[in-house]
Amino acid sequence: MEVAAPADPLYQRIAQHYRGAIRSGLMPAGERMPSVRSLQRLHQVSLSTALQACRRLEDEGLLEARPRSGYFVRVPRRGGMPPASEPDFARAPDPAQYVGIHDRVSAFVARSEGCPAQVDFGATYAAAEAYPGEALKAAAIRALRRQPDLLVRPADAAGELALRTAIARRALDGGMQLSPDDITITHGCIEALNVALRAVAQPGDVVAVESPTYYGLLQVLESLGLRALEIPCSPNTGLSIEALALAFDTQPGIKAVVTGPDHQNPLGSVMPDADKARLVALCEQHQVPLIEDDTYGALGNDDVPLRALKAWDRSGNVIRCVSLRKTIAPGLRLGWVSGGRWHARIRMLKYAQSRANEALPQLTMAEFMASSAYERHLARLRRQVRQQRERIAEGIAAWFPAGTRLSLPPGGMLLWVELPPGADAHALFEAALQQGIRTVPGTLFSNSHRYDRYVRISCGHLVTRQAEQALRTLGALAAAQG
């Protein structure tokens, strides 16, 4: 939450006080604001200052003035915003193709690095201060004190037992029963996906992926010489089971399915439990490995854990790949994979590809995950990201051109914004970059051209006044394309 600086005018400090109450839900939509004269008495300010505070909140869309009744908490602007379009689930899948995304991603990265951004809506992490830096530092020091030779002895090829044990215990919350021996520690989720794909597919094979999907996955497929078959994905319910079933019937030779069922990148969608069970059963029926990508699953709107696809796996057909970077420590680059019946091959491929992860980061993470501080951190991060997500959605509803569509996801750090017909997301990316604002155009999330007018907006960082102004600028740039 943005905190008003002591040097801010008094009316801004009063506005910040009530802004926080509105955004936290303490003052729900429709509730009456204290009258201007009540504010004057409560805060010991002039009538003019109290009125300025209310008008500031009205300008931000948080209050509305009703004649002869005063100010009321406003129903969010996004309530009138149309949801993102659903894909055409009846459309036959495109022929599987080599991805051809690498040059596009490389060009995007080069342009982004060449024009440093003052406001980065492209990052997929929270701000550094949102992570438990001091707790992790203390855990690392304790690990070195307990094991002074930690930096000079070889690490366990499968991963430190303490970390694998902590992960197995936490996996119970997602409906899984894993032993430490079922888990292999990796360099983030992208390495987990890499070794999982190498374990079940060979160059030239077809892999079914979501459309749109994370461009990093498309890069992995291209680097391995695999062909991507794009399956429509709903912004609300995730991968279409019906479309995948059709692909199994009409596209012989699918060697694997990769999906992010919880807070998918870039949509933010969450697959209902009934669909998760159907998906696991469908892949098992066709004997096609199901690779589960869980990067943001822990960042839901509440503290009730989501059930993993792996929870329905009874035959070892689901390979679960998880990142610990986005939720706990971006700087430690840790993830893990549970390979089901490909467990031994995945462990061998991981060893051949990069050898063991360093022991110190693993033991640091193990101690933190085994402590009560882990749950407290996640609860704080969920609340913070939710507030930021809702504030950015409000800004998009207020400042983007008519015809913009958005489905607010129930968690995660990402918003998938559909611009009006005729808009060009890549042109918007270029224009925004010149203003010091970074976005990610939809063209990176598919090998087709279906997402040329979509933009992914990250909500990981605090929504400062500078960020709000950047949203206004983005909206104006998008409107100028019409």
Query: pTM for this structure?
Result: 0.86
Average pLDDT, the chain: 93
CA pair distance 168, 165, nearest whole angstrom: 5
CA pair distance 184, 309, nearest whole angstrom: 18
Judged against a pLDDT cut of 90, whether residue 88 lies above it is answered with no
In this prediction, residue 77 has a pLDDT band, given cuts at 50, 70 and 90, of: low
CA pair distance 417, 407, nearest whole angstrom: 8
pLDDT of residue 340: 98
Of residues 136 and 60, the one with the higher pLDDT is 136
In this prediction, residue 75 has a pLDDT band, given cuts at 50, 70 and 90, of: low
With 0-12 CB in 10 A as exposed, 13-18 as middle and 19+ as buried, what is 145? exposed
pLDDT of residue 378: 97
Judged against a pLDDT cut of 90, whether residue 233 lies above it is answered with yes
Judged against a pLDDT cut of 80, whether residue 7 lies above it is answered with no
Domains of the chain: 10-75 (1.10.10.10), 107-128+376-480 (3.90.1150.10), 132-374 (3.40.640.10)
119 token code pair: 């406001």
Q: Which long-range contacts (CB under 8 A, 24 or more apart) does 270-278 make?
A: 270/237, 270/238, 270/300, 270/306, 270/409, 270/410, 270/411, 271/237, 271/238, 271/239, 272/237, 273/307, 275/237, 275/238, 275/239, 275/241, 276/307, 276/309, 276/311, 276/312, 277/312, 278/241
Judged against a pLDDT cut of 80, whether residue 372 lies above it is answered with yes
Lowest mean pLDDT among 15-24, 47-56, 132-141, 350-359: 15-24
Of residues 5 and 160, the one with the higher pLDDT is 160
In this prediction, residue 124 has a pLDDT band, given cuts at 50, 70 and 90, of: very high
First to last CA, the chain: 34
251 token code pair: 């596209």
pLDDT of residue 258: 98
pLDDT of residue 1: 41
* 8 Å CB contact between 36 and 54: yes
pLDDT of residue 58: 83
Main-chain phi, psi angles of 281, to 5 degrees: -65, -40
Helix (H, G, I), strand (E, B) or coil at 186: strand
With 0-12 CB in 10 A as exposed, 13-18 as middle and 19+ as buried, what is 253? exposed
